[in-house]
Structure 1
Amino acid sequence: MAGAGNGVSDDLIRLEVVSPNVPDLTLIDLPGITRIALPNQPKDIGKQIKNMITKYIKRQQTVALVVVPCNVDIATNEALEMAREVDPSGERTLGILTKPDLVDKGTEQDVVNVVLNQTYVLKKGYMIVKCRGQQEIQDKLTLKEALKMETSFFEEHEYFSCLLSEGYATIPLLAEKLTTELVEHINVNLPNLENQIRAKLDEAEEKLKRLGTATPDTDIEKRSFLIEKINLFTNEIKNATKGEEETINGCLKLFTNIRRHFSYWETTLQTSCAKFPRSLRVDMDTYESQHRGRELIGFVNFKTFEDIVRKHIKTFEEPAIQKLKEITRIVLSAFSDIASKQFVPFPNLLRAAKVRMEDICKVQQQEAENTIRTYFKMENIIFCQDTIYGVSLKDARDKASQPGIFMVQKTQLQLTVDEMAHHTEAYFTSATNRLSNQVPLIIQYFVLHEFANKLQIQMLYLTQDLEKLNVLLQEKQDLSRIRKQLQDKIKRLNAARQRLARFPDVDYLGDTLRKLETQTNEKLPKKRAIQENGEVGTRTKRKSFQNWTN
């Protein structure tokens, strides 16, 4: 599994122990930290092991049991330092001191201070145990005998006996400690765990929903299935044209985006109207010097009026076509996104939809462009209803004669220019009002509504060709496997939720663990011990987690 030599592997070796006398607990035994690689080990073996350890101990649901020999300096211990990096507050770290029989003379009190959490502070504190040595294992010392020897060692030790009386020593008391920590840790992490499972379940269900159900087997079912898919697609297209589609991540609705572009178009027209009086002076000067005929000064020539108005209206034609192209790209992109979302499992169907969209879009854009250019040709006909034009002309004259405007003696030419300005401004106001509405209406009709209607018809034609059903409904490679994986994941997550439902609080777990301790108590011998009140009594040594003696 780890390759040749003494390497390591991230793959877990799972050993399941089933018994009525063991707790429901996962214990992950990680390799010890290696500093120098052996000849038959990878050169980066130390880095590999550290990465493996970090991967497990950084999880918030994990309680890290840091095993440290008593005869090393705890302040420089690398395992504790790694635990502190991922658990700075020490809330998930429990220190376990081993090999108390190898402590140097004179350092016993230092060990006691560590266990009493006075040196390197951990919120969960420390425990001290004496496991079987290698020689004892070879001599086939039983676990029961090892526990007796461990208890005798701490009871008779000059310094460490106090740790036993305080409940910080021996493997059975470590089992009690771990049981308590297990209950408390579940109590703290259970709500967060439920939220994580709910979030993962929602995510998996949403992915499965996007994939949709598997393709049916018969041709009749396939045709109905395809019609359903196409109807969902065209309905969402229609909703987009009406501004009723659902959006995510703050994206603009299609019609909202289009309306913004229409507002820019209106602003362009209004800005041009504001600049028009200044450009009129240049046009009038050109007329006087190049085109004036036999008419007397002061007469407003209608032909001049027509030429000036047509010239300025013509300047809006290409911006209108450019606006058409911008909005066409927006609509095509939005429709393509809808197709990609609806037909994601079926690449051939998606490709067929996009081909039809591009073809229809090209035709609709050309029709809209032809209509816009025809409309601008109509605008070459200078016409406005008398009532509308009369109101606009009065507004233009009233604005020019507003009180407070500084009046000077004007020449006849200036008066002619002023009168021309009133007429052109009045007509220009009416013309730009028509343009600001008509161009958006033309664009909406051809590249939004007609586009959507024709696309719906073309997509429904796909359902008529039974020979192409299998091709259109051919799923992406591995999609069936992904769907099965998601279904299995949802099944596992639902099972996890059901398991968690058994724990509305930690009472159930506490009762289970207390029953476990009672069962093990009945099978173990009783040893004399000092109770918390100082009297001589009995303490039953528990058998849980005896694998610590290995």
Structure 2
Amino acid sequence: MSSTSTGFSTPDSTADHSDAMSDAQSTSSNALGLLDPQVSEQRRRIFDLINRLRNTGVQSEISVPVIAVVGAQSAGKSSMIEAISGISLPRKAGTCTRCPTEVHLQWADASWTCDVSLRRDSVTVGEPHATPFGSTITERSQVTERIRRAQRAILNPSRDPDDYLHGPEPQADDSSFSSDCIVLKIRGRDVTDLLFVDLPGLIVGGIEEERELVEKLVRDNINRESCIVLVTVTCETDFENQPTYKLAREHDPDGSRIVGVLTKPDRVPPGGEHLWTAHIKRENSRTKNTEWFSVKNPSHEDLRAGITWQASRSAEDQYFASAEPWLTLSRGAFASQLGTANLTKKLSDMLYNLMLERLPLIQQELDAALAKTQASLKDLPPPPSSEEPVSEIVRMVSEFTREADSQTQGVPEADGLLQQMSGAEEVFQTDIRLTVPNYKPWRSDDQQRSYMPSFDFLLHEEEHLRAGRGPSIFVDQVMRDARSAVTRELPDNYPFVVQKRAILQFVDLWRAPAFRLFEVIQARVEALLLKLVSSDAHFGHYDKLKKLVGPIVIAHIAVRAQETQQRLDFLLAMEAEVKTRNVHYFRSYRDKFLALYKGVWRRRTPQARRILGEPSPERETSSDPGSPGSTRSYLDSEAGTPPPAHYTTAYAAPREVPMRPPPTPPLERALRALYDLGLTRLEARDLLVLMRSDPEEDALFIMANVRAYFQVAYKRFVDNVPLAIDEAFVRGVVVGLQTAILTGIGIGGRDGFETCQRLLQEPEHIKRRRDELLEKESRFKEAHRELMRFTVTS
């Protein structure tokens, strides 16, 4: 016997082995699995189709029928598999099943062979789904050692599998269990068509992490409707203490795809035989939905003595034909549920029928998976062009700059760039308006402060703007500044610098709002362009290209921003030179402000109060200075005029008195007299000029000039600043943008072609995803061809 195997006896000499195989092949009933190898052509073609489909690697996505062998450790699972397959599994200490082993048994009119390969669930894209592990085996004695080495290779994915194929092996393993799979393809004249997966045995106790890993591996395999679950239960341990059947029923509640196997029937404790035969006879209420079998495999002593496979099968038949209670079962209706041959036939029939039943579903699943994979491929960006990388990048940059130009010109969308800028421009206009000089046409020490009428002539222009909040500026302050500036001027004349200084005080405040507006717009333009850069619409998934274009765009924005800031500085410098050609507009506002200021100033005198009319106490106390409701007509009648004589306050009938016209008020008489002299367009306020001039009234003229110029200048400025930003930066940012990007990339340089090729390399995750999908598509198409070939030849 080979020194590396403790399984079925396998003679070392070729001659002896040939004699043994000759004996095994002498009758058709001696084929592995004890089934007639000359099965129907249809059955063989079905199993051949299952093998070919699994060879394509689609079983992870398509429910290809398979038998999963599950059981607890030491439940006799390995011995049962040896009995079905005719090979010996490793039995040394520490060599229990630690990864799935997929066994393809296929009848062939040829000498016996076995091919071993490794199939990894998470292979590197582009690598074969399954890789051969060594050359084809033609001697059964070599299978055990090859399987042991293959399992070591599976448990050490970081190393080259060839390290474990020949010679000394590395000692330590990367992992204790793995979901990767060993695949055995056994062919020969004495082989029955069958396919099953031997899963690691469930662990009772032990390390929790390993126990959970093995249980998950089992669950992942048995939860599909296309899986027949072969549950092995040993008769030497209480049924309730073995979790395998309970686990299987969780995934198949009605038990229709579960086959139960009782192993080690010779280990049943005395008196407990009926507990086990109840499963076979379906007398156990918990397991009666499952069909149960029992097999008797060689003991460790038999294996050490070198028992052959044929001898072990004969011993099994002898045991069930002589030992109670199995003898009674073998003579009745349950004889077909005893022995490996009957079990193998049952499994083969179930797998065959399940495949016939699921063929249409497999076709549907395959078509759906192929369509989904192809749709996912279409969702990926097109692969880069390796022939014209320069033209490809020029195209991308051109499309990007066209989109940038469209966005900066304006798009009819609520979140468009210009729509976002509108709010910032309104804030800027308000901030400039709030710098208005807050003139008060009375002295700062005036004990009886006058009320300030609202500027009715501004309401239609600025009703949506808040009034200025600057500090109050009084007449005595203006006169003090004016007198301090006098040099060689004639009496009652003041230099222009007085007004210019007052104007520059509010113009100096305009710099901060103007640059705040630009900062907001710059940030939004930059965010827009970088969003266009990072989106897949223009530069796809080419991260290297995006990472290069982004800083180039930012640098270009910085250049345009500096130019725009220079324009703003120019506008501010221009406003520092006090000048306007809008003479009519300026004079109109000056006259209105001067009349209002004079009206408030001169109202301090009794004559002015009589001319203008005293504001009523109710109006004065209830009106808010600066509000439209506080305006008082200067044509109000003189306060305190007594009622006509014919009115009485006595509670009695009125006396009959002759009707006389009421006396004419003095103000009305004066205006009527001037009207008769030909001065037809006078109002009450115009009579104020007849009053004796007050030297401090020169301050009112300065105040009116400055306040009127503010109206001219601020409206000019709140237009010019947004226009300059829009022209120089918003629309100007796209000027030269394409050239800047292409130059920054180096497209016209000596290494331009190579640079473009490098930039158009797909990101690794996109490339990996594309390769995965292409590999899937290839496998699905191959599986589809196999199905079509089967359909055509059926």
TM-score relative to the length of structure 2: 0.45
1:454 to 739, 747, 750: 739
**SS state of the match for residue 229, structure 2?**
strand
Higher relative contact order (CA 8 A, sep 6+): 1
Please state if 1:262 is matched with 2:429: no
Aligned to 1:290: 477
Q: Identify the residue that residue 199 of structure 2 maps to in structure 1.
A: 30
CA deviation profile, 1:484-513 (whole Å, cap 9, x unmatched) = 995585155234145347769xx978x99x
1:65 aligned to 2:229?
yes
Distance 2:231 2:720 in 1: 84
On the 8 A contact 1:336/1:354 being kept in 2, the answer is yes
Contact 2:575–2:713 (CA under 8 A) maintained in structure 1:
no
* Residues 320 and 111 of structure 1: CA distance in aligned 2, closer, same or farther (over 3 Å): same
Query: Which of 348, 351, 368 pairs up with 1:175?
Result: 348
Residue matched to 2:730: 444
C-alpha separation between the residues in 2 aligned to 1:269 and 1:120? 83
Which amino acid counterpart does residue 730 of structure 2 have in structure 1? Q
Listed as ranges, the matches of 1:93-242 within 5 Å are 94-99=258-263, 101=265, 104-108=272-276, 110-111=278-279, 118-119=285-286, 126-134=290-298, 138-141=307-310, 157=329, 161=333, 170-182=343-355, 191=364, 194-203=367-376, 209=381, 212-213=384-385, 215=386, 224-242=388-406
Q: Which amino acid aligns with 2:329?
A: H
Q: Deviations over 1:388-433 (max 9, x none)?
A: 999999xxx9xx99xx9644659999x9999999996797566535
Partner of 2:556: 360
**Corresponding letter in the other structure for 1:458:** T
Letter in 1 for 2:198: D
Matched AA of 1:234: S
Counterpart-to-counterpart distance in 2, 1:180 and 1:436: 80
CA deviations on 1:221-271 (whole Å, 9 max, x unpaired) are xxx432333322332343244249xxxxxxx99995644641441342365
Alpha-carbon distance between aligned partners in 1 of 2:589 and 2:362, rounded to the nearest angstrom: 74
* 8 Å contact from structure 2 (residues 230, 260) kept in 1: yes
- Cα distance between partner residues in 1 of 2:562 and 2:587: 37
Instruction: Give runs of aligned pairs for residues 433-512 of structure 1, distance below 5 A.
Output: 435-436=721-722, 438-447=724-733, 449-456=734-741, 458=743, 462-467=746-751, 469-470=753-754, 473-474=757-758, 486-487=770-771, 490-497=774-781, 499-500=783-784
Structure (1 or 2) with the larger CA radius of gyration: 2
Alignment match, 2:216: 54
Q: Residue in 2 aligned with 1:320?
A: 517
Cα offset for 1:157? 1.6
Give secondary structure in 2 for the equivalent of 1:242: helix
For residues 421 and 163 of structure 1, the distance between their equivalents in structure 2, rounded to whole angstroms, comes to 117
Structure (1 or 2) with the greater helix fraction: 1
Q: Which residue of structure 2 aligns with residue 78 of structure 1?
A: 243
Secondary structure of 1:229's counterpart equals helix
Aligned to 2:468: 280
1:109 Cα deviation from its structure 2 partner: 6.6
Q: Using a 3 Å threshold, how does the CA distance of structure 1 residues 330 and 181 change in structure 2: closer, same or farther?
A: same
Residues 316/106 of structure 1: CA separation in 2 closer, same or farther (3 Å cut): same
User: How many Å separate the matches in 1 of 2:760 and 2:536?
Assistant: 15
Q: Secondary structure at the match of 1:232?
A: helix
Consecutive unaligned residues of structure 1, counting only runs of 5 or more, are 38-43, 217-223, 245-251, 296-300, 516-550
For 2:731, the aligned partner's letter is Y
Note the residue ranges of structure 2 that are not aligned, 5 or more in a row: 1-151, 156-169, 436-464, 484-491, 493-497, 591-595, 597-622, 635-684, 686-696
Specify the SS of the correspondent of 1:178.
helix
Q: What is the correspondence of 1:388-403 to structure 2 with a 5 Å cutoff?
A: none
Q: How does 1:529-540 map to 2 (within 5 A)?
A: none
- Higher mean C-alpha displacement, 370-379 vs 304-313: 304-313
- State the distance in 2 between where 1:458 and 1:212 align: 21
Alignment of 1:310-349 (within 5 A): 310=507, 313-327=510-524, 329-331=526-528, 333-334=530-531, 336-337=533-534, 342=539
Query: What SS does the aligned partner of 1:97 have?
Result: strand
Flag the 1:424–1:465 CA change in 2: closer, same or farther, 3 A: closer
Aligned equivalents of 1:141 and 1:189: distance in 2?
38
- 1:15 and 2:15 correspond: no
* RMSD (Å) for aligned C-alpha atoms: 6.0
Letter in 2 for 1:363: V
The 1:409/1:260 distance shift into structure 2, 3 A limit, reads: closer
State the partner residue of 1:531.
none
Cα deviation for residue 322 of structure 1 reads 1.7
Q: Distance in 2 between matches of 1:73 and 1:390?
A: 113
Deviation at 1:319, TM superposition (A): 0.4
Letter in 1 for 2:517: A
Query: Given that residues 364 and 446 in structure 1 are in contact (C-alpha distance below 8 angstroms), is that contact kept between their aligned partners in structure 2?
Result: yes
Q: What's the secondary structure of 1:13's corresponding residue? A: strand
